[in-house]
Structure 1
Amino acid sequence: MGELRVEPHLFVIFGATGDLSKRNLIPAIATLARANRLGQRHAILGVSTRPDFNDEKFRNIVEKALTDAGIDGDDMGQWCWECLHAHSVGKGRPENFESLRKKIEDVERRHELPGNRLFYLSTPPQVFAPTIMGLGEGKLNKGPGWTRLVIEKPFGHDLQSALELNALVHTYFDESQIYRIDHYLGKETVQNLFVFRFSNFIFESLWHRDRIASVDVLVAEDLGVEGRAGFYENNGALRDIMQNHATQLVSLIAMEPPSMAAPEAIRAEKIKLLHAIQRIREEDVVLGQYAAGTSRGQLVPGYLEEDGVAPDSRTDTFAAVRLRINNWRWQGVPFIVRTGKRLQRRLTQIVVTFRSAPVSFFRTMGRELAHPNALVLRLQPDEGFELGIQVKEPGDTDGLHVVPLSFSYADAFGKLPSAYETLLLDVLSGDQTLFVHAVETETAWRLFTPVLERESPVYPYAAGSWGPDEMDRLYQPGEEDPVRCKRIG
């Protein structure tokens, strides 16, 4: 992370007692504070609907969250005492937001803050709209300094709800104030896609349909729903990952070079790329649902046996699509995108498979010995990348082996900052590059809402596998699935 300038500010967390805040947000804020990245003058105001919520309870929540995250809280005690404040908004009525406004002004006076305010919606999605309306009607959408609003995913449930939510947000906030957060965009490897592509001409000169045979995007989890069946039953893999995280990765890997390294230019190219994706056909979609199997060496139940799941649920825990991009760079190059729970291992990566040589000299008994080169950009775990090249097996043999030319961020730079640390610093410094624009959100929903509205079959797959066998149909003759052929990952 570069040394970004962070002005004195008040950080307001709605949903301060929630799981997201405790697992991700609070540890990231505390880590930045301990490293003196939040500036000398800042305060944190936790907001909850609990009527008995107060400073002491918030400080106790923060201290436990730091302990659970493995952060030594002994040297954070003074920070907790001085910088943390709490407020209850009760049922969110107008008078509650009037009380919140007075609390904010009081905290700013105590800390001599100039009125720069960051409002972070770390709440369930159904609370976004009333909270945004409360801030707007309570005159908290504008302040003495800058005012910024961070909205977690999911942003909408389909196209219509996303349009309505954007309309509501824009009633009170300018787009320049809005930061729709996607934590995948804060990962170092994702950010490095810009540098990797646009500063290494050796790759950018190969980045088109004449040299690339296919692009595979994988967002795999080995965990199940982990007590979140209530959320997952209403969403599924398409809504939870495909429409946002995975689609963002596609836009970054396939976008045209921006005119400059500025947020507006980068967003414009991402939007242009999303508009170029053709309508997703029914035959280009495979949905799945995990059955019982083995994960991490343990027998695990199927999705239908998870607590809170309807016995006849057709919720997709796996989704794969074949995307077609209708532009000069990518015409005819398939983008195979998949995501799922209870897959073989936790792995997020992009695989760019290059075309084979037009004439091959390396055959034996009619069998092709050489494999096409593949570039693997790995986002998690072990962030880095590798390029597979062919080498001859030593000795009196005609065998060929694929060996990786690899790079690991951890080996080169040590421990990386969390995605939330990176993104929070960007919000505080006013950089919107790694955040999702309203048009990006709506365009992605336009792609996937028709898929969600179709009654597509949901195929079973064993927990601990790479998904349903029907996945194979997304590959045409001569194309390879880099996961199933075990050449990567």
Structure 2
Amino acid sequence: MDLDMKTLCDLGGIEVNTQPFILIIFGGGGDLSQKKLLPALYNLFKLDKLNNDSYILSYGRKERTQAEYRTLVKTSVEKTFKGKKVNIENSFLEKFSYFNGDSEKLEGIDNINKYICKFKGIKKYQIIFYLATPPNLAKNILKLIQNLELCDKPFKKKIVMEKPFGIDTVSAINLNDNLHKIFKEDEIYRIDHYLGKETVQNILFFRFGNSIFEPLWNRSYIDHIQITVAEDIGIGSRGSFYEKAGVLKDIIQNHMMQLIALVSMEPPTNFEADCIRDEKVKIFKNISSMSEEYMAENLVLGQYGHGKIKQEDVAGYRDEKNVSKDSNMGTFFSGKFHVDNWRWAGVPFYVRAGKRLNKKLTEIVITFKTPPLKLFGNTCRDILANELIFSIQPEEKISLSINMKYPGVENYPHPVEMNFNYSKLDTISLTAYERLIVDCIKGDLTLFARQDGIEEMWKVIDPIVKYFNKINFKFPNYPAGSWGPVESRHLLEKDNRKWRI
């Protein structure tokens, strides 16, 4: 059963009214830029959502001519169209300029300074620094930015930083301190691309815009919540990064914590950025602390071994490039969390995330309590609980499962799913990175993490990382193409529950 989309007003497309900007991308030739940023900028250009008087400067270690870098931009965009021919306009490519430099030396950044000084009316531009680089380079890049004089004239500046933000609570605090020497808090955009996805944003609208659900959104009616962030891909070329971060710092500390907060937060006073972020921080602070005994019973860490993905043999984690042959790093995590407040007391949040799992899937499942009485006799003994499902990938949709009577004489239950699928809308929908770039240009901080939120998320994860670092695991403990270690299933089975998938 599909739901029709109706509106009460003329939406009129996506309006983006921005002042001219100069976007400076550190790591402009890296994987993140090629796979995400450059295609996103092109799509915004095609949608006429970028100010015409705007420019993009890329800063990287590799020596390239301007022509070589613009060819890289063109190739990166073409790859997103999966082989389809696309005519990339010169007017887009001409927005790009490339500067070679080392993050530990000032020569390259001086060249950027000289280049920007040639712009007429520099005061009209906002300068956006984007750190598309490994986290360990952040401190050096901030020093470079401090030395970017920009012709000794005042200008509106912003900075965008990718996750993970720091490697623990202490490093996150130090990084925030360094940032605040150059930028005000409302100039800092700590990006988590999951928050740019339409379904994730719609969680709040669904909850607070529908009077039929919010009264049920509590411990009295909800049995438990499942959140899955599964990928069928391995770590690819990110071996060096993953050996330092693992699944806990790569996914749980940021994506998973944000999804938990969106599902469980209290209604904000309004939809302004700080009001929403205030409520998220309260959730992070209310996530129950865990003893080592609790973690031993309710947390599972895993690492993938050899297996099959889509009938093709794939290597185990320890055989990936730049990974130690006896690595103890986790690529899978599952656990049971609790939010200690009035609304959620006693409701378990089951989470799992990992690489090389059975399929690509990100979803949030709200499972409601079953009816207290079996009114329809023994034939309905196994009536299913109602479930509300926010699917984030591979497709973005919202589903509600309800029980109906199956046609006929007998009282047989028949589950029916009501679906709202974004792919069926005849409207423009921005990708996550496109949406977040637009919000940064506009100055909307709603979908970006705040300083205290980052630090509180680390406070939840640090004890878990510390606990697992003391254990010598017998890895690998799940084959690629499975749903993770068998202990992950046991986590729910001992509570008489099971993963939806």
Deviates more, 1:256-265 or 1:308-317: 308-317
- Please give the secondary structure, in 2, of the residue aligned with 1:406: strand
The within-5 A match list for 1:253-272 is 253-272=263-282
Report what 2:246 is aligned to. 236
Q: In the TM superposition, what is the alpha-carbon distance from 1:385 to its structure 2 partner?
A: 0.8
The within-5 A match list for 1:154-303 is 154-280=164-290, 281-282=294-295, 283-303=297-317
Report what 2:492 is aligned to. 475
Q: In the TM superposition, what is the alpha-carbon distance from 1:299 to its structure 2 partner?
A: 2.5
Residues 295 and 342 of structure 1 are in contact (CA less than 8 Å); yes or no, is this contact kept in structure 2?
yes
Write out per-residue CA displacement over residues 144-184 of structure 1, whole angstroms, 9 at most, x where no aligned residue: 33101000111111222212111111121111100000000
- Please give the secondary structure, in 2, of the residue aligned with 1:202: coil
For 2:423 and 2:458, locate their aligned partners in 1 and report how far apart those are by CA, in whole Å: 35
Match of 2:134 among 108, 112, 124: 124
For 2:233 and 2:223, locate their aligned partners in 1 and report how far apart those are by CA, in whole Å: 32
Q: Once superposed, what is the RMSD of the aligned Cα atoms?
A: 2.1
For 1:479 and 1:362, locate their aligned partners in 2 and report how far apart those are by CA, in whole Å: 23
Report what 1:64 is aligned to. 75
Residues 97 and 138 of structure 1 are in contact (CA less than 8 Å); yes or no, is this contact kept in structure 2?
yes
- Please give the secondary structure, in 1, of the residue aligned with 2:181: helix
Report what 1:15 is aligned to. 27
Deviates more, 1:467-476 or 1:431-440: 467-476
For 1:419 and 1:143, locate their aligned partners in 2 and report how far apart those are by CA, in whole Å: 34
1:236–1:370 distance in 2 versus 1, CA, 3 Å: same
For 1:368 and 1:227, locate their aligned partners in 2 and report how far apart those are by CA, in whole Å: 50
1:223–1:54 distance in 2 versus 1, CA, 3 Å: same
Structure 2 counterpart of 1:293, one-letter code: G
Structure 2 counterpart of 1:375, one-letter code: L
Report what 2:396 is aligned to. 383
For 2:150 and 2:219, locate their aligned partners in 1 and report how far apart those are by CA, in whole Å: 49
Residues 114 and 144 of structure 1 are in contact (CA less than 8 Å); yes or no, is this contact kept in structure 2?
no
1:312–1:63 distance in 2 versus 1, CA, 3 Å: same
Report what 1:314 is aligned to. 328
1:333–1:145 distance in 2 versus 1, CA, 3 Å: same
- Please give the secondary structure, in 1, of the residue aligned with 2:437: helix
1:425–1:404 distance in 2 versus 1, CA, 3 Å: same
Write out per-residue CA displacement over residues 250-290 of structure 1, whole angstroms, 9 at most, x where no aligned residue: 11111100001100100100001111111134132111111
1:340–1:152 distance in 2 versus 1, CA, 3 Å: same
1:49–1:292 distance in 2 versus 1, CA, 3 Å: closer
Deviates more, 1:22-31 or 1:113-122: 113-122
5+ unaligned residues in a row in structure 2: which ranges? 1-12
Whether 1:41 and 2:58 are equivalent positions in the alignment is: no
Report what 1:402 is aligned to. 415
Q: In the TM superposition, what is the alpha-carbon distance from 1:45 to its structure 2 partner?
A: 1.0
Report what 1:135 is aligned to. 145
Q: In the TM superposition, what is the alpha-carbon distance from 1:201 to its structure 2 partner?
A: 1.3
For 2:152 and 2:249, locate their aligned partners in 1 and report how far apart those are by CA, in whole Å: 32
The within-5 A match list for 1:66-85 is 66-70=77-81, 73-81=86-94, 83-85=95-97
Q: In the TM superposition, what is the alpha-carbon distance from 1:195 to its structure 2 partner?
A: 0.9
1:130–1:307 distance in 2 versus 1, CA, 3 Å: closer
Deviates more, 1:295-304 or 1:394-403: 394-403
Q: In the TM superposition, what is the alpha-carbon distance from 1:100 to its structure 2 partner?
A: 2.2
Q: In the TM superposition, what is the alpha-carbon distance from 1:94 to its structure 2 partner?
A: 3.6
Write out per-residue CA displacement over residues 117-155 of structure 1, whole angstroms, 9 at most, x where no aligned residue: 111111111111110121123346996331010001111
For 1:307 and 1:251, locate their aligned partners in 2 and report how far apart those are by CA, in whole Å: 35
Residues 123 and 153 of structure 2 are in contact (CA less than 8 Å); yes or no, is this contact kept in structure 1?
no
Residues 8 and 113 of structure 1 are in contact (CA less than 8 Å); yes or no, is this contact kept in structure 2?
no
1:151–1:458 distance in 2 versus 1, CA, 3 Å: farther
For 1:4 and 1:414, locate their aligned partners in 2 and report how far apart those are by CA, in whole Å: 16
Structure 1 counterpart of 2:50, one-letter code: L
- Please give the secondary structure, in 1, of the residue aligned with 2:279: helix
Residues 116 and 143 of structure 1 are in contact (CA less than 8 Å); yes or no, is this contact kept in structure 2?
no
Structure 1 counterpart of 2:328, one-letter code: R
For 1:143 and 1:334, locate their aligned partners in 2 and report how far apart those are by CA, in whole Å: 54
For 1:91 and 1:262, locate their aligned partners in 2 and report how far apart those are by CA, in whole Å: 36
For 2:102 and 2:234, locate their aligned partners in 1 and report how far apart those are by CA, in whole Å: 34
Structure 1 counterpart of 2:447, one-letter code: L
- Please give the secondary structure, in 2, of the residue aligned with 1:253: helix
Residues 14 and 428 of structure 2 are in contact (CA less than 8 Å); yes or no, is this contact kept in structure 1?
no
Q: In the TM superposition, what is the alpha-carbon distance from 1:372 to its structure 2 partner?
A: 0.9
Q: TM-score, normalised by structure 1?
A: 0.93
Residues 292 and 299 of structure 1 are in contact (CA less than 8 Å); yes or no, is this contact kept in structure 2?
yes
1:73–1:147 distance in 2 versus 1, CA, 3 Å: farther
The within-5 A match list for 1:352-367 is 352-364=366-378
Structure 1 counterpart of 2:388, one-letter code: L
Match of 2:424 among 382, 395, 411: 411
The within-5 A match list for 1:421-440 is 421-440=434-453
1:451–1:429 distance in 2 versus 1, CA, 3 Å: same
Q: In the TM superposition, what is the alpha-carbon distance from 1:338 to its structure 2 partner?
A: 0.8
For 2:314 and 2:244, locate their aligned partners in 1 and report how far apart those are by CA, in whole Å: 22
Write out per-residue CA displacement over residues 347-377 of structure 1, whole angstroms, 9 at most, x where no aligned residue: 0000000011111234538x82211101000
Structure 2 counterpart of 1:466, one-letter code: W
1:469–1:276 distance in 2 versus 1, CA, 3 Å: same
- Please give the secondary structure, in 1, of the residue aligned with 2:89: helix
For 1:441 and 1:419, locate their aligned partners in 2 and report how far apart those are by CA, in whole Å: 20
Residues 54 and 85 of structure 1 are in contact (CA less than 8 Å); yes or no, is this contact kept in structure 2?
no
The total of aligned residue pairs comes to: 479
